[in-house]
Amino acid sequence: MRVLLLRPVSGNERFGLAPFFRVEPLGLAYVAADLLTRRHEVRLGDLRFRPRWEDHLRHFEPHLVGIGCTHAVDIPSVLDLATRIKRARPATQVVVGGHAASVFPDPFVGSDVDAVCLGDGEYLAGQIVDQLCGTVPPRTTGDIWLRGQPLDTASRVKRSAQPPDAATHPGEPPTTSLDAVPLPARHLAEPFRRHYICVHKQPVWAVETARGCPYRCNFCSTWRRYDQTLRVRGIDAVCRDLANVGPNVFIVDDLFWYPRERSLELARELSRRGLRKDWILVQSRLDIAAHHPELLEAWRPLARQFDVFFGFEAPSDAQLARLDKDFRVDELEEGLRVSRRFDYGITGNFIVDPDWGEDEFRAMWQMVDRLSLHRLGYTVLTPMPGTDLFRRWTERILDRDWSHYDMHHMLFEPRLGRRRFFELFVQSWKRNVLGVDHSWGKWWRWLTELSPSQVITLASALARTQRLFRVDAYLAEAFPLQLPAELGAPRSEAWRPQRTDQRWVEMPPEMRQNHPRP
């Protein structure tokens, strides 16, 4: 069969740091590797760059098209692409997979999608191709949904997952091997390689050594998807994969340095083989860094520059507990000290709760200044589909436009009112390295390391992210203003355009200051 795998264009990259992170679609490359071993003909298209999807269809004439849906924000563009493909080639089967689709396939039921992969695509793609192309009878299972058949939500979301035995440091979870599938078919992504970028590093290669997480943060669906277990690649497979990629590597593991003993073994084997990169980026937890400095010491020699993305999340123990983060501020600060001692570059993120008041914002700014944090991102606490937060806050959500689920839109009215909230949110971003006035020297040093074409790419990304500093940009995309309960209307009643101005005038003056005039 001819199988076309597509990485779609996101429907919304107007906020956040997406312009700085354009990484190869590693999941599709793994799916392609499995399909190639089954003697299918496979093409991979990254629609963020040319050629267009129409060109792929015309020249390749696929029997089946697989579309990746990694994030909830991608759902509208994936649905639109599926419809366009069906109109152009009605006989072509359309399959959707990826993290967002697997934890929340509901939007695809009743659409032009023929099947949704609810599990790990590299293990299921062959079965889906066989079923949709007539080799075996079609059948919905716990890991595959087919058009026209019921969607069993209970079998998809594992609700039996329990909190770790220890309150803050879970024991080693069960692990399974990922080595049944060969290494990714990276050659299919090579036509787009020069476009892949992480901040000022270009091109960048993505590598996976493990997947899953034993922790239970309520804003994350990864632990739910894998039932707090881990899937790991063998030491030799990871070493061979790293040997085959270029000097700039983003290791995409959900939780790096975990499992701990395996991470030490992998670092020692990479060192024994003399594998060293110019730059490595990973994502991990600060409490792991705090309690296991030996891991950071073992990995640091493996790259000239080694950056880590940490979730700082909140400035107090109470707020961290509200997120089910399972670590404390003292562990956060100790992890930061350990990382700096071994000369790791530190990038972090705070999650701003819509229920925060002004005191919580000030506490966060004080932590940022006290710990000298500058390479930071700020996101709005968003009830993403598939998370505990989504189930808990479902009655509060007033905006069901999936393109707004980018962790920068407000899905319900915040405690401070939308204008004041975003004024403080923007003030937070101004303490960040993206603020040109704040850190022009650092950007200038980075620019001097790049080729002329890379300078243009980075400058363009920097220009696009300046939208993060405009309160009016956030307000322009907020859902219609709701009538406050204090005025006698239910919270869920949307303001009608012909009456919004009148109701705003009726607000008490102290409420008007937190709400923009319609």
Beta bridge partners of 191: none
Residues 166/18, Cβ–Cβ less than 8 Å: no
Residues 196-473: name the CATH superfamily.
Answer: tm_1862 like domain (3.80.30.20)
Res 502: pLDDT: 42
Distance, CA of 200 to CA of 345 (rounded, Å): 14
- Global confidence as pTM: 0.87
Q: Name the stretches of the chain with pLDDT < 50.
A: 154-169, 485-508, 510-512, 518
In this prediction, residue 331 carries a pLDDT of 97
Express each pLDDT in 218-277 by its tens digit. 999 999 888 888 899 999 999 999 999 999 999 999 999 999 999 999 999 999 999 999
Q: Is 342 exposed, middle or buried (0-12, 13-18, 19+ CB in 10 A)?
A: middle
First to last CA, the chain: 55
Do the first three CATH levels of 2-151 and 196-473 match, i.e. the same topology?
no
Distances (CA, A) of 357 to 158, 294, 378, 417, 506: 34, 39, 16, 10, 24
Which among 294, 187, 306, 181 is positioned nearest to 233, based on CA atoms? 181
Break the chain into its structural domains and give their ranges.
Answer: 2-151, 196-473, 480-512
Helical segments of 64-210, H only:
75-88, 99-103, 121-132, 153-156
Q: Which pLDDT value is given to residue 293? A: 98
Would you say 240 and 179 are in contact if contact means Cβ atoms under 8 Å apart? no
Does residue 421 contact residue 354 with C-beta atoms inside 8 Å?
Answer: yes
- Residue 243: phi and psi, rounded to 5, are -70, -25
Please, which residues bridge with residue 44 across strands? Answer: 5
The CATH architecture assigned to 2-151 reads 3-Layer(aba) Sandwich (3.40)
Q: What is the pLDDT of residues 139-194, one digit of tens each?
A: 767 789 999 888 875 444 443 333 333 334 456 667 788 998 899 999 999 999 99
Backbone phi and psi for residue 106, each to the nearest 5 degrees, phi listed first: -50, -40
Would you state the pLDDT for residue 446? 61
